[in-house]
Structure 1
Amino acid sequence: MKAITVLTGLGAMLAGCINVQAPDKPIVIQLDINIRADVVYALSQDAANTIDENADIF
């Protein structure tokens, strides 16, 4: 019983020490994603399919 009282007292003392504040400046997350390679590959595959389907034109 005495241990519970001591732990409760320590918890109450520590409760005032916790301080949470929002940052002054906004958080900035920079996502530098290179999607060019995917687009070039998709267009290349599409062009290859078009040439194969229309071999008589080329």
Structure 2
Amino acid sequence: MSIGKKLANKTETVRGAAKKYLGRATGNTRLRTEGRLEQAKGNTKQAGAKAKDIFKR
């Protein structure tokens, strides 16, 4: 997987975490839920990329 895609996946995870904490701080459940989903999506993409890299070797 290219560096650009890895960076994009990590950025998505960090952005999701930021949304989650911002939603928690403001009491906005919709924002907190969006953040959780975005963070999980980024983590899933990262795990898939790592597995893909392992099987390439």
TM-score surpassing 0.5? no
With the length of structure 2 as denominator, give the TM-score of the two structures: 0.40
Greater relative contact order (Cα < 8 A, sep 6+):
2
With the length of structure 1 as denominator, give the TM-score of the two structures: 0.39
More helix by share: 2
